[in-house]
């Protein structure tokens, strides 16, 4: 007598090849990607004010950046503004320098002190 459940379980994958695992991971990531948000001039002006105030007072900032469909966070102090390349150099708490492009900024706020 034929048992349909037994026949189906025979063909279930017992292991996943690395190529399949990577493809599944890429599919999962693609489902979570977002489109680049469009910011208003008012938002950009607000970011400029927050950044210039923090630079003049040497305060840390929390940046939310658009990074190829995802949001990445960078925290630290702006140590250099490169107007030619249109980016900031932000030194984080570990002493690493992060390059933050003006166009990738989605949000910026003063970092909590303490």
What is the domain partition of the chain in residue ranges? 41-110
Contact 75, 62 (CB under 8 A): yes
Contact 31, 55 (CB under 8 A): no
Is a pLDDT exceeding 80 seen at residue 73?
yes
Element (H or E) spanning 19, and its range?
helix 18-32
User: Residue 22: its pLDDT value, please?
Assistant: 77
Question: Which long-range contacts (C-beta less than 8 Å, at least 24 apart) are formed by 98-101?
Answer: 98/74, 100/63, 100/65, 100/74, 101/65
Indicate the CATH number of 41-110 among 1.25.40.10, 3.40.50.1000, 2.30.30.100, 3.30.390.10: 2.30.30.100
In tens, the pLDDT along 21-65 reads: 777 777 776 677 888 889 999 999 999 999 999 999 999 999 999
pTM of the model: 0.70
Contact 85, 102 (CB under 8 A): no
């Amino acid at each position: 007598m034929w048992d349909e459940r037994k026949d189906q379980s025979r063909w279930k994958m017992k292991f996943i090849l690395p190529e399949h695992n990577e493809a599944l991971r890429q599919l999962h990531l693609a489902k979570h990607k977002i489109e680049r948000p469009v910011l208003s001039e008012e938002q950009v002006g607000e970011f400029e004010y927050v950044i210039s105030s923090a630079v003049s007072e040497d305060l840390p900032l929390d940046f939310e950046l658009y990074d190829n469909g995802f949001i990445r966070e960078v925290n630290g102090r702006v140590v250099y503004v490169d107007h030619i390349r249109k980016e900031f150099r932000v030194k984080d708490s570990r002493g690493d320098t992060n390059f933050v492009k003006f166009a990738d900024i989605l949000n910026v706020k003063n970092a909590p002190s303490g």
